[in-house]
């Protein structure tokens, strides 16, 4: 039973919350005393919020998830956790996260609230609307970047915002593409918005957003440090690898990084290169 509740938290998706540290990492202040002193509560506040909303979304999707070959085994969809207990767990996590985030910084708290508002709206209705559903998913990554900037008192540059927004579009459209590829004729039964998409449109969206993200990233790193330009080939390879994985049904960013050795190695190499330049 305890294992089922732990699975419901989707803790492996907490890796997305590392976006909170984007600004201090690129800015060279990640290991300053001000950042390290609040890094743990900042991370867990957003992680508890995310888990709370994952559970809420699973409650909304419990019927449609039963049409998915993998998601049907989720604790809520499979009936291991009752709907009432799932609501209680979601509420407790949300309450804890709001208390922690309020004590950290009022602006960080507001970003948490905005994330909650968008994701609840997405779970209830917006995920049914094509393109808007992709933008809702993308907004989660962008909010993490700005929330981290507020928590650690680091200004988010325009180029960092655009880079993260475009990369978020890549990840969100890649996730939809892989769902379409994996589910095929059952796609509409699992997610209503998928009936409005086709492979060509989503691949066009992937290519446009991937190309734009490379341009924005190049301009951002030149703004930060000219030596960071040497990370561009690594990022380019990573994006190409992700596009290939999306076509194979591995477009979920968390699953892609954890299951594909080359993409994981690319991320590690990129982090190491940025580290060498900035630290």
Distance in angstroms (rounded) separating the CA atoms of residues 91 and 216: 38
Q: For residue 184, what pLDDT is reported?
A: 64
Identify the band that residue 188 occupies on the pLDDT scale cut at 50, 70 and 90: low
Residue 147 and residue 115 in contact, taking contact as beta carbons nearer than 8 Å: yes
Classify the C-alpha dihedral 154-155-157-163 as positive or negative: positive
- How many CB atoms are located within 10 Å of the residue 10 CB? 19
pTM for the whole structure: 0.89
Sequence-ordered strand ranges (E) for the chain:
none
Mean residue pLDDT of the chain comes to: 89
At 185 the pLDDT is 61
For residue 35, the number of C-alpha atoms closer than 13 Å in the C-beta half-sphere is 16
DSSP string over 69-100: TTGGGSTTTTTSS-HHHHHHHHHHHHHHHHHH
Beta-carbon contacts of 204 under 8 Å, excluding residues fewer than 6 positions away, are none
Among the residue ranges 176-180, 224-228, 236-240, the one predicted with the least confidence is 176-180
DSSP letter at 155 equals P
- Show contacts of 67-75: CB within 8 Å, 24+ apart: 67/183, 67/186, 67/189, 67/190, 68/183, 68/186, 68/190, 69/182, 69/183, 71/190, 74/7, 74/8, 75/4, 75/5, 75/7, 75/8
Give the pLDDT score at 67: 63
* Top-confidence range, 79-93, 189-203, 205-219: 205-219
| pLDDT band at residue 101 under the 50/70/90 scheme | very high
Please give the Cα distance from 170 to 66 (Å, whole number). 27
- Comparing CA positions, the residue from 215, 105, 206 lying closest to residue 162 is 215
Q: Which residue has the tokens 């890094």?
A: 39
């Amino acid at each position: 039973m305890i294992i089922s509740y732990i699975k419901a938290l989707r803790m492996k998706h907490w890796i997305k919350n590392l976006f909170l540290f984007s600004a201090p990492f690129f800015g060279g202040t990640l290991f300053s005393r001000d950042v390290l002193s609040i890094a743990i509560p900042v991370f867990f506040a957003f992680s508890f919020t995310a888990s709370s909303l994952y559970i809420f979304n699973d409650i909304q999707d419990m019927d449609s998830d039963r049409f998915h070959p993998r998601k049907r085994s989720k604790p809520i969809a499979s009936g291991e956790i009752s709907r009432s207990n799932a609501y209680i767990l979601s509420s407790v996590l949300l309450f804890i996260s709001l208390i922690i985030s309020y004590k950290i910084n009022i602006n960080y708290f507001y970003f948490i609230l905005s994330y909650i508002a968008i994701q609840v709206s997405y779970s209830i209705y917006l995920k049914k609307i094509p393109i808007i559903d992709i933008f809702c998913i993308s907004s989660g990554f962008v909010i993490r970047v700005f929330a981290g900037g507020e928590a650690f008192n680091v200004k988010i540059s325009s180029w960092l915002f655009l880079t993260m927004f475009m990369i978020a579009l890549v990840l969100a459209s890649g996730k939809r593409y892989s769902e379409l590829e994996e589910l095929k004729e059952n796609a509409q039964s699992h997610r209503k918005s998928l009936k409005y998409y086709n492979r060509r449109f989503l691949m066009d969206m992937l290519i446009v957003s991937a190309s734009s993200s490379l341009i924005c990233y190049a301009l951002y790193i030149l703004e930060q440090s000219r030596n960071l330009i040497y990370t561009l080939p690594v990022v380019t390879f990573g994006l190409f690898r992700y596009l290939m994985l999306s076509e194979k049904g591995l477009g979920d960013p968390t699953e892609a990084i954890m299951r594909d050795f080359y993409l994981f190695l690319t991320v590690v190499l990129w982090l190491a290169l940025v580290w060498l330049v900035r630290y």
